[in-house]
Amino acid sequence: MPLNRTLGSITVTALTDGEGAFFQPRAEAFPQATATQWAEADRRDPGSVTADGQWWLPFRSFAIRAGDGPVTLVDTGIGPADAPAASWAPVPGRMPAELAAAGIDPADVDTVVLTHLHSDHIGWAVTGTPGRPYFPNATYLVQRAELDAAETLNPGLPAGLVAPLRAAGQLRVVDGETALTPAVRLLPTPGHTPGHQSVLLTSADERMLLTGDLLVHMVQLVDPDLAYAHEEDPELARTSRRTALHTHSPTILATPHLGTPFTPPPHPRVG
């Protein structure tokens, strides 16, 4: 059964599309991390390391719902067997079953926030041949900077993702920080990709940051300065990570790839 957290009247549901070992050693993914930092990361997030030291990661999306209102979905997972992530991720994903277990019909989703256009975050956005939006009533939100970089990120994105969403009239391009409701805001957090965005939920004195790939491993909470090898602009990603974690002071993080979906914000770093 999918895990939930609540902020006031908002329920956030973690939907795990799949999980598996990363395709390269974690020391290559985070080449500056020290043995002390790895030990602390493993203590805080033991589910992210296998017995033989591989990086084990889930692939999650998050559903946001206020009361019994419409659903906002943040990211769409790794997708079916023929999805773009098939070359490296454990497809087919189980998103349809996860949605059903959470009591969500794809038609209930009225907004899809794509934090960025890497293949493990867009898998169920458009499916089938010819491609059609999997969520038939949803507006899909993408930052303009991400859309402008789509072909550079993956040459198949314009035809495989962008064109079907445009043809269906379901693509909305946003520029920078955008309020979706009084409680839900899009935050530009570039660096991992040019137009990466995160989602900030606010209810009274609680704030949940749905990070996307602003951070991908607990070691980046042990030391937010640590770069990830697959960031497009590591320095900008570092700035975005620090700004989001400190300026917005989240009380809880909702992450796609950490061992557990809901994680407290970072403590002082280990050297």
Per the CB < 8 A criterion, the answer to whether 258 and 217 are in contact is yes
Per-state percent for the chain, helix, strand, coil, to nearest 5: 30, 30, 45
DSSP string, 148-195: HTHHHH-TTHIIIIIHHHHHTT-EEEE-SSEEEETTEEEEE-TTSSTT
Looking at the DSSP bridge assignments, the partners of residue 185 are: 179, 200
Q: What token pair was written down for 88?
A: 């490296």
- Could you tell me the CA-to-CA distances from 168 to 133, 139, 210 in Å, in that order? 8, 10, 27
Burial of 255 (C-beta count, 10 Å sphere; 0-12/13-18/19+): buried
- Work out the angle at residue 122's Cα, subtended by the Cα atoms of residues 121 and 123, and round it to the nearest 5 degrees: 105
Map residue 145 onto helix, strand or coil. helix
Per the CB < 8 A criterion, the answer to whether 164 and 130 are in contact is yes
Burial of 71 (C-beta count, 10 Å sphere; 0-12/13-18/19+): buried
Instruction: Say what the pTM is.
Output: 0.96
Local mean pLDDT, 10-residue blocks, the chain (271 residues): 89 98 96 97 96 96 94 98 96 98 96 98 96 98 98 95 98 97 97 98 93 98 96 97 92 97 71 39
Distance CA 96, CA 48 (A): 25
Comparing CA positions, the residue from 156, 80, 69 lying closest to residue 118 is 156
Map residue 20 onto helix, strand or coil. strand
Looking at the DSSP bridge assignments, the partners of residue 21 are: 56
pLDDT at 204: 83
Distance CA 212, CA 225 (A): 17
- Answer positive or negative: Cα dihedral of 157, 161, 165, 171: negative
pLDDT at 205: 85
Q: What token pair was written down for 97?
A: 């079953």
Distance CA 259, CA 43 (A): 12
Per the CB < 8 A criterion, the answer to whether 57 and 22 are in contact is yes
